[in-house]
Amino acid sequence: MKKVGLIGGLSWVSTLDYYTFINKGVNAELGGLNFAEILIYSLNFGDIQSVTWPHSFHLLLTACESIKKAGAEAIVLCANTAHLFADRLEDKVGLPMIHIVSETAKVIQKTGLKKVGLLGTKFVMEMDFYKQKLEEYGLEVLVPEDQETRDYIQYTVKEELGAGVVRPETKQKYLKIVADLEKQGAECLILGCTEIPMLLSQEDFELPVFDSTKIHSEAIVDYILSSTK
């Protein structure tokens, strides 16, 4: 098996999901007591928030370099927003990056769907790094039109879901947001934040839902096992 390094803590709640999905995926393939060999560098999310995401490159770089020194063969950023720096980190550290947006786009591309609704942090929804990567795979990206709505998603991701708090009233508001995306023409939905699957899942919708955390984890499992198949 190949050894991967996870840059976690972004938040710690979603890092637990990665650890669970990856180990279950490896065990499903190999059976017995076989599980993934994983290195985890868990950042203090408070440090990220102090400098803000756009200025967090060096915090992520330090974590990636530490993971490399410990023997990781590939790097995983356990947050959609952290992929703001994915290409720069890959070039600087010299290890392959298993990219959450690319892996999600590949899965959607196979379905033939074109118009995707995207929910995530303000950075994911408003900056170009995420949407441009999806567009490279021929996808048209729709995000909530109102600034107030995007601000609300940012607040709940940071103050509620990031702390492990799930509120029924928040879910109801998210369901309304997705309904509005459908009215804009969205054919499917990307949960483009590793915390949002705590709130929403395919069971809540008729339109196809793509959980970026699960898709990313499946790609990581494939990488880990690529030397054993």
Q: What is the rounded CA–CA span in Å between residue 36 and residue 228?
A: 12
**Sequential pLDDT tens for the chain (229 residues):** 999 999 999 878 889 999 999 999 999 999 999 999 999 999 998 999 899 989 999 999 999 999 999 999 999 999 999 999 999 999 999 999 999 999 999 999 999 999 999 999 999 999 999 999 999 999 999 999 999 999 999 999 888 988 889 999 999 999 999 999 999 999 999 999 888 998 999 999 999 999 999 999 999 999 999 975 4
pTM as predicted: 0.91
Residue by residue, DSSP assigns 141-174 as: EE--S-HHHHHHHHHHHHHTGGGT---HHHHHHH
Q: Give me the phi and psi of 148, to 5 degrees please.
A: -60, -40
pLDDT value for 164:
83
* CA 215 to chain CA centroid, nearest Å: 9
Q: What is the rounded CA–CA span in Å between residue 109 and residue 113?
A: 7
Nearest Cα neighbor of 84 from 25, 145, 23, 125 is 125
* Residue pLDDT, tens place only, 174-192: 999 999 999 999 999 999 9
Give the contacts of 35 (CB within 8 A, at least 6 positions apart): 23, 26, 27
Q: What stretches of the chain show up as alpha helix (H) in DSSP? A: 12-30, 45-51, 57-69, 86-93, 100-111, 122-126, 128-135, 147-159, 168-184, 212-225
Tokens of 9: 């803590």
List, in order of start, the domains of the chain with CATH numbers.
Answer: 4-99+215-225 (3.40.50.1860), 101-212 (3.40.50.1860)
Q: Are 170 and 199 in contact (CB under 8 A)?
A: yes
Residue by residue, DSSP assigns 4-35 as: EEEEE-TTHHHHHHHHHHHHHHHHHHH-TT--
Rounding to the nearest 10 degrees, give the CA dihedral for residues 19, 20, 22, 25. Answer: 170
pLDDT value for 126:
94
Within 10 angstroms of residue 166's Cβ, the number of other Cβ atoms is 12
